[in-house]
Structure formats: structure tokens, C-alpha cells
Structure 1
Amino acid sequence: MSLKNKHIVVTGAGRGIGAAIVDALSAEGAKISLMGRSLESLQAKAAELAEAQAISVDVTDSGAIAHAFEQAREGFGPIDILVNNAGQAHTAPAHKMDDDLWRRMMAVNLDSVFYCSREALKDMQPRNSGKIINIASTAALKGYGYVSAYVAAKHGTLGLTRSMALENAAKGITINAVCPGYTETDIVKDSIATIMEKTGRTEEEARAELTASNPQGRLVQPEEVANAVLWLCQPGSESVTGQAIAVAGGEVM
């Protein structure tokens, strides 16, 4: 079990990509602190795992994050690996977007990555060891219409990833981004519903619009994203840092 006794924090861990990630990490022996908004869903997921604890937290609140990481340490000790997975995507053309939506997208998708990474590095730097994996989306690598705030936040996440990777390269800490394309999750289900509502297309037509950007002609599966994260967490990936690894069927190269 390659991650035996490693303490891993995963945000947005209750469903979708986050749930697939914790399944993969737990199968390799990790002790996992599941963080997110819904304590009920986190507890349900934690109950399925060998060693796991559920911690409810608003990832946009730096004070709450600091407290949540203290809770995590009390249960399983210092953090060895952090997976910043929490995120949201809401649509609006830039010229119609209000301040609240812009700030919300920045807070959930970018601020949270900074807050959580800052806390995890407090454990990693003194030990000259650790890994941070940010789930950044292909929106970190290209533009998409009608989700400009989300795209801007994800581009920011990739910039943060690269800068932190350089700052910590000599300390034995690797920091990378995994960039999934459209993945079979609730976020994509919401996108399909929005397309149907605004365009009058059927669910099949809306789904086809999203899969058209993937040369493989399909949605990415959460387990495929989890496999990329698992590889970065395991021994043998120490030379990989500051990278954006696309899991998108060839959409970006």
C-alpha cells in the first residue's frame, strides 16, 4: 500500500471527482481528512473508507480553514499531502456578471487553494517533504465562453501552482495541477441543464455540445482524474512539479 499512514486532506471530498479521489487514495492505505460544506455527505463518504474523518468547513473563509486544519491534525497528525479539489462553476457573459458572482468564483476556485496550501505548507516545509495537487480544469489552459470568472480563477490557480512549485522545489515539496476536461459530475449536469434552459436543446443535444470538445467524443470519468492524482501522490513522481496535467482526451496539448 503505497500511501500507508500518509495523512491526506481532500477538499470538496463528498461527491464527484473528490469522492473518486478519496476512494483511490484510501485503497492505497492513506488516512484521509475529507473537507467540504456538507457534513452529512462527508460523513457518509468517510464511513466507506478504512481511515477517514469528516470536517465541515467553508473553504472561502481563511479563519475557518485554519481551524479545520487544526482539527485534521488532531485526528491524523501533520498533513503529508493536500488535494485542493473544491470548486464551483456558474455561467454569465462577462458584461452581465455582477460583483457577487465574480467574487464567489474567485473565492471558491482560487482563494480556497491559497488558504489551504498555506496551511498545509506549515507542516510540509519543516519536514522538507510533501505534495500539493490542485484540481484546476482545462479552464486553466484555455478560454471558455460564458464562464469567464471561473476561467480566470482557474488560470490563477495554475499560476499559483507554478509559483509555489518554484518556491518549494528545493524543500522536497512538489506542487502540480491536474486539469480535467468536461467530467461526469454534478457541475457538468448543471451545465447541461443551463444549456437546455437557455437554448431549448434536448439533454442529448446539450451533452453532445460538451463532448464535442473532447477528441475522444465523451465525458471524462471521475476515476480517470483520480488516477492522475493518485500517481502524483505516490512515490516515484518526485521530479514532477509545477506541471499542468490535462485529463481531457486530447482537448488540450
Structure 2
Amino acid sequence: MAGQVHAEISAAPTGFAGELTGRFALVTGAGRGIGEAVVAALAGRGARVLATDLDADTVEKVAAQYDGGRVTARPLDVTDAAAVEALVEDTESAHGPLDIAVNVAGILRSAPAIDLSDEDWAATFAVNTNGVFHVCRSVARRMSARGAGSIVTVASNAAGIPRAGMSAYAASKAATAMFTKCLGLEVAAQGVRCNTVCPGSTLTDMQRGMWEESGADIEAARRSVIAGDLGAHRTGIPLGRIADPADIAEAVAFLASDRARHITLHDLYVDGGATLRG
């Protein structure tokens, strides 16, 4: 729910509180979960944030937690290319250039590949891949012309390892991660950095929804994810915990900051070692 992560990370870690002062960031999927946590992490470091989400009421509640105009809210359907372009154009005209863009909006439609419907496949790519393309194209054009900017796409560790029952999600995230790298290669000479953060299992509404759909007891499901499932060819989580949205947001904030000024085309896996990429 909106508001659950704000208190947890509204204050940046010591030494980083003002590192994004003067920066202006766009965050998609900001109404809950990882997106809400990203808003908190960026605003906590001094950035102004435009928080967007398909659910206008939810993202308004997120923005209402902040005073002084640090966070403003706008509804946005990232699958609508014209709407994305209009929002970016209107925002920059009214409030100044965007320095940071974070793609968080995403959906999950889970089913065995042979049972997956055309509708679920198309919907997954429409949000997870096309939506990222629409946002990146719009902001990267402007950032490139100005000679600076940072784009961070929240993908998934499923982009780099097969997951049973998640073919559409994994394929969409893999496409998105590679698109972000290709874009980053093309705009690097103009001073624009493009990176991805790839979470593993994270305590979000999406994760809880997967557990509820399976009818599993939440605590038992949590333990099962940590332990892994040999029958599903799924490793456990070596660090022994499921991520909080704040863990992902901290990685995003780092990549958006000047501390990562020489990092681009990078996939940062934040999954407790679940994909054994250590």
C-alpha cells in the first residue's frame, strides 16, 4: 500500500542526503512497491520527483506524503506513446529539464508457456517492454540534446535466468534490459548513462499476489522462496531473506547519482545471490 515504505527510507543514508539536490526525476509505476520506494529514495536525497502511475489515486497518495513540492503526481499509461511524449513535453516546459528517469512500471501474467494467452503475452510486453521504450525514447532525446542524464530501468533477475511459469515476464524483462543497454551505447557519447537494476523476489504486491494465487500460506511461501525449489529448478536466496522495496530503491539511487558517473550499460542484480552471479 502507498505509504508503507516512506518512513523506512525517506531519510537518505548518512553522507548522501543532498547528493541529488537540484536534480529532477521522473519515476513510473510510483504508486506502490518498488516505485514508491524509489520516489522516497530520490526525494530523500534532495531530488524533485514527478511520480507517475496508471492508478491516479494511489500515486496522489504517495505525493501527498511530501511537503514543499518535492514530489508531484501525474497519472500515466506507459503503453500510450503519445501520452508519454505529452507528459514529458509538458513537464519540461512547466518545471524544467528531467535529469533522471526511472522505469519501474510493470506487470506479471504467470502461466506455463503452452497455456499463456495471446492477451497476456501482449499485455506483458505492452507495459514491461513497450512502456520502457516509450519513456526512454522521449527522455533520452532531450537528455542527449543537453549532454547529460541518467536512465535506470528496473528489470528482473528473471531477465537472466529461466523461470518456470514466467515466460512472458522473463522475456519482456530480458528484452527491456537489452534495449536499455543498446540505448546506453547510442547515447553514451552525449553524456547519458543507461543502466538496469534486476531485483529478485521482493516484498511487493506483485510478489504477494503470486503467493495468494497459489493458495499458499504467506509465511510458508516466504520460507519456500528463500529455501529454493529443486523441482522447479529454482535456487534459493543465499543471503536468507527476501528483499524489501528499499533494497532495490537504494541501488537505483546509486546508479542515478554522480557516484555512478562512470557506470553505464550495467545490470545490477539485487537478489541476495539467487541467480548465483556472485
TM-score normalised by the shorter chain: which range applies? over 0.9
| Structure 2 CA distance for aligned equivalents of residues 147 and 165 of structure 1 | 27
Partner of 1:49: 66
TM-score w.r.t. the length of structure 1 is 0.95
| Structure 2 CA distance for aligned equivalents of residues 101 and 30 of structure 1 | 36
Structure 2 counterpart SS, 1:58: coil
- Counterpart amino acid of residue 4 in structure 1: T
Q: Is 1:12 matched with 2:29?
A: yes
TM-score w.r.t. the length of structure 2 is 0.87
Decide which of 146, 158, 173 is 1:127's aligned counterpart.
Answer: 146
The within-5 A match list for 1:76-225 is: 76-196=95-215, 201-212=216-227, 213-225=236-248
Offset of residue 203 of structure 1: 2.9
Q: Is the 8 A contact 2:208 2:218 kept in 1?
A: no
Partner of 1:243: 266
Count the aligned residue pairs: 249
Q: Is 1:22 matched with 2:69?
A: no
Partner of 1:230: 253
- Counterpart amino acid of residue 112 in structure 1: G
- Counterpart amino acid of residue 126 in structure 1: A
Structure 2 counterpart SS, 1:120: helix
| Structure 2 CA distance for aligned equivalents of residues 76 and 5 of structure 1 | 12
**Deviation >6 Å, runs of 4+:** none
Offset of residue 191 of structure 1: 0.8
Structure 2 counterpart SS, 1:53: strand
Structure 2 spans left out of the alignment, 5+ residues: 1-17, 228-235
| Structure 2 CA distance for aligned equivalents of residues 104 and 32 of structure 1 | 27
Q: Is the 8 A contact 1:124 1:173 kept in 2?
A: yes
- Counterpart amino acid of residue 15 in structure 1: R
| Structure 1 CA distance for aligned equivalents of residues 66 and 270 of structure 2 | 25
Structure 2 counterpart SS, 1:159: helix
- Counterpart amino acid of residue 12 in structure 1: G
Structure 1 counterpart SS, 2:212: helix
Structure 1 counterpart SS, 2:26: strand
Percent identity, aligned pairs only? Answer: 35
Q: What whole-Å deviation, never above 9, does each CA across 1:108-128 have from its counterpart, x for those lacking one?
A: 111011000001012201111
Offset of residue 235 of structure 1: 1.1
| Structure 1 CA distance for aligned equivalents of residues 182 and 141 of structure 2 | 17
| Structure 2 CA distance for aligned equivalents of residues 18 and 202 of structure 1 | 26
Offset of residue 52 of structure 1: 1.6
Structure 1 counterpart SS, 2:274: coil
Q: Is the 8 A contact 1:80 1:123 kept in 2?
A: no
Offset of residue 202 of structure 1: 3.0
Structure 1 spans left out of the alignment, 5+ residues: none
